[in-house]
Amino acid sequence: LRFPRLLLTGAAGGLGRELRRRLKAYCDVLRLSDIADLGAAGPGEEVMPVALENKAAVDALLKDVSAVVHLGGISTEHSFEEILPANITGTFNVYEGARRHGVKRIVFASSNHVTGFYRQDEVVGTDVPMRPDGYYGLSKAFGENLAQFYWDRYGIETVSMRIGSSFPEPRDRRMLGTWMSYDDLERLVVSSLTAPVVGHSVIYGISDNATAWYDNSKARHIGYRPQDSSERFRAAVEARQPVIDTKDAGLIHHGGGFVKQGPFDKT
């Protein structure tokens, strides 16, 4: 399947830079957006710098788009006042633009932090109650609820990818469970864009790791088959972090250190 025009938000970020070069194979034109510098447009690219909280500018971004990969926003824990415009208003603006311009499929970069307050001895599926571990996780929970509403009300389909930790390598023992390689990220995004029927589907974005606390069995219809595993990094990671203090909330929850951040209002 080849799309006439795909929109990639957050295109200047870590995952955005990876997907910028990988998604070109699946579309005629790749429209790239961010508030950070994107450099010049290459062949088959359009560059449209936009702040996600700017509704009119986001509306223009969605014009003539076949599908969206929405990565833009603040990607770690911050104060609510910082999260609100980028992640909550920003994601609302993307869905409104999609509705107004008839865009029918969005791949939303949600996060494991939507369920970050489960413990690492609890394996969870995609239908357990959300337990966000901070304002960032709450904003991703809002994004998933927004996606569900726009599917139920307006027929716009979304795959909410609850991405674990997508980096070149797992950095610690927690990431042996949450890691997703960039190749598997590409597989997940492409499956999410091309699966014939998704409605609003939620799927954990991890590689085929030997130890993990996510159950993706309710998302088999998307056809995501991870090919990588964190196992080849295990010896090095365990040598660096031999012991886990199971009394440390930041080590025993799915969300890791996110569960201990804040409060941000010191008054």
Residues classed as catalytic: 136
Identify residue 158 by its one-letter amino acid code: T
Tell me how many residues contact ligand NAI (CB under 6 A): 25
Residue 116 DSSP one-character state: T
Please give the Cα distance from 3 to 153 (Å, whole number). Answer: 25
Region binding ligand NAI by CB under 6 A among candidate stretches 5-13, 61-69, 149-157, 223-231: 5-13
- Binder of ligand NAI out of 6, 31, 75, 222 (CB under 6 A): 75
By CB under 6 A, tell whether 178 contacts ligand 15L.
yes
Helix (H, G, I), strand (E, B) or coil at 70: strand
Binding residues among 85-124 for ligand NAI as defined by CB under 6 A: 86, 90, 109, 111
Residues whose CB falls within 8 Å of the CB of residue 20, separated by 6 or more in sequence, listed in order: 8, 11, 30, 32, 45
Output the residue with the shortest Cβ distance to ligand 15L.
165
Which is nearer to ligand NAI, 132 or 243 (by Cβ)?
Answer: 132
Nearer Cβ to ligand NAI (111/207): 111
Relative to beta strand 67-70, strand 45-47 is unpaired
Query: 250 forms bridges with which residues in the sheet?
Result: none
Residue 83 to residue 10: CA distance in whole angstroms = 15
With CB under 6 A as the contact rule, the residue among 33, 91, 111, 216 that binds ligand 15L is: 111
Identified binder of ligand 15L from the candidate list 120, 139, 160, 165, rule CB under 6 A: 165
Using CB under 6 A as the binding rule, the residues of this chain from 225 to 254 that contact ligand 15L are: none
**Cis peptide bond N-terminal to 263, omega within 30:** yes
Contact map string, positions 58 to 97, toward ligand 15L, x by CB under 6 A: -----------------xx---------------------
Selected from 66, 112, 120, 209, the binder of ligand 15L by CB under 6 A is 112
Is residue 35 a contact partner of residue 51, using CB atoms and an 8 Å limit?
Answer: yes
168 binds ligand 15L (CB under 6 A): no
Closest distance of CB 7 from ligand NAI, Å: 12
Site string for ligand NAI, 183-202 (x = CB under 6 A): --------------------
Q: Choose one: 109-117, 122-130, 198-206, 216-224; the region binding ligand 15L (CB under 6 A).
A: 109-117
Catalogue the long-range contacts made by 38-43 (C-beta closer than 8 Å, 24 or more residues apart): 38/11, 38/12
How far, in Å, are 63, 131, 146, 177, 249 from residue 118 at the CA level? 40, 7, 23, 14, 11
**Least distance from ligand 15L to the Cβ atom of residue 93, Å:** 20
The Cα 103–Cα 250 span in angstroms is 40
- Interface residue list for ligand 15L (CB under 6 A): 75-76, 111-113, 165, 178
